[in-house]
Amino acid sequence: MTGDTVEAVSCTQLAYAFGETRAVDGLDLSVREGEVFGLLGPNGAGKTTAIRCITTLLPVPSGMVRVFGHDTARDRMAVRRLLGYVPQQLSADSGLTGRENVALFARVFDVARRERAARVAQALAAVGLTDAADRLAGTYSGGMVRRLELAQALVSAPRLLILDEPTIGLDPIARTGVWEHINAVRAATGMTVLVTTHYMDEADQYCDRVALMARGRIHSLGTPAELRQGLGERRRAAGTGATDTLPTLEDVFRDVAGSGLDDQSGDFRDVRSTRRTAKRVG
């Protein structure tokens, strides 16, 4: 931590390998309290693995991860109490109502019994599901399922909300809906948000800062405007690319990742898992 700034997440030289595959390879990352931080990168860049280390779902074999100052290796339960996590995989049960799904998470996260009903109702209201709360989740649209999963993560009133591809496979209106609810809760509570997304337009619009990740580490970091301006200046200096229009975040991403990366990163497993996730919420 430096000065008065509290770091919600700090990763120092984090590394994680699956056999020979170095999924995360010397990751240095700092997320400030209260910001919406976007972790961007192609399939297989290591985003989900890094997030699993931060959430304590994976051990930290090398390097250090801290959440609000707590070392995830030594203080796992303290870390878990501070965060809400919406994974890529389906975490809602289609055979339960929306309310029952959120109530289950309230129990798991140890929300005091006498507060539970009110907190469940509050979380459902925060994501706009009050009217649908007593319907089976199996009848929900993809956007509603995602908002239900958001309510599940919010019921424990986390200081840090971690979302892995929260809008994948959703139509533009549902995507906007998910972000509006995230932002409303954040404005009301000051919660920090760490999100991975493949949608550059969303990162540009909703993230205070973004990090572009490739091959297990960060290659570029800044506000979306800083990154766009930086590329514009490099293009002007080199006299290359379109110099009359400001680059998009997508342009920055391509510039950082390099044209060869698309072919090299990610494998069949990555593509299959991404598509499966997209399909189940679509």
Ligand X SMILES: Nc1ncnc2c1ncn2[C@@H]1O[C@H](COP(=O)(O)OP(=O)(O)OP(=O)(O)O)[C@@H](O)[C@H]1O
The least distance separating ligand X from the CB of residue 225, rounded to whole angstroms, comes to 24
Rule CB under 6 A: is residue 166 a binding residue for ligand X? Answer: no
Q: Which two tokens stand for residue 158?
A: 């986390």
Rg, C-alpha atoms of the chain: 19
Q: How many residues of this chain bind ligand X (CB under 6 A)?
A: 16
Q: In terms of DSSP H, where are the helices of 72-171?
A: 76-82, 98-108, 113-126, 142-154
The least distance separating ligand X from the CB of residue 47, rounded to whole angstroms, comes to 4
> x/- site string to ligand X, residues 228 to 267, per CB under 6 A?
--------------------------------------xx
Element (H, E) at 9: strand 7-18
Element (H, E) at 65: strand 62-67
Which lies closer to ligand X via its Cβ, residue 17 or residue 78?
A: 17
Rule CB under 6 A: is residue 269 a binding residue for ligand X? Answer: yes
- Ordered strands of the 192-196 beta sheet: 83-86, 160-164, 192-196, 36-40, 209-214, 217-222
Rule CB under 6 A: is residue 44 a binding residue for ligand X? Answer: yes
Rule CB under 6 A: is residue 167 a binding residue for ligand X? Answer: no
Could you write out the DSSP letters of every residue in 11-46?
A: EEEEEEEETTEEEEEEEEEEEETT-EEEEE--TTSS
∠ CA 21-195-83, rounded to 5°: 95
Q: What are phi and psi of 140, to 5 degrees?
A: -80, 155
The least distance separating ligand X from the CB of residue 268, rounded to whole angstroms, comes to 9
Rule CB under 6 A: is residue 97 a binding residue for ligand X? Answer: no
Rule CB under 6 A: is residue 10 a binding residue for ligand X? Answer: no
Residue among 43, 91, 130, 141 that touches ligand X (CB under 6 A): 43
Rule CB under 6 A: is residue 270 a binding residue for ligand X? Answer: yes
Nearest Cα neighbor of 150 from 108, 188, 122, 115 is 122
Which lies closer to ligand X via its Cβ, residue 58 or residue 155?
A: 58
Restricted to residues 15-34, the positions that interact with ligand X (CB under 6 A) are: 18, 21, 23
Element (H, E) at 10: strand 7-18
Which lies closer to ligand X via its Cβ, residue 45 or residue 144?
A: 45
> x/- site string to ligand X, residues 46 to 75, per CB under 6 A?
xxxx--------------------------
| Site residues for ligand X per CB under 6 A | 18, 21, 23, 41, 43-49, 266-267, 269-270, 274
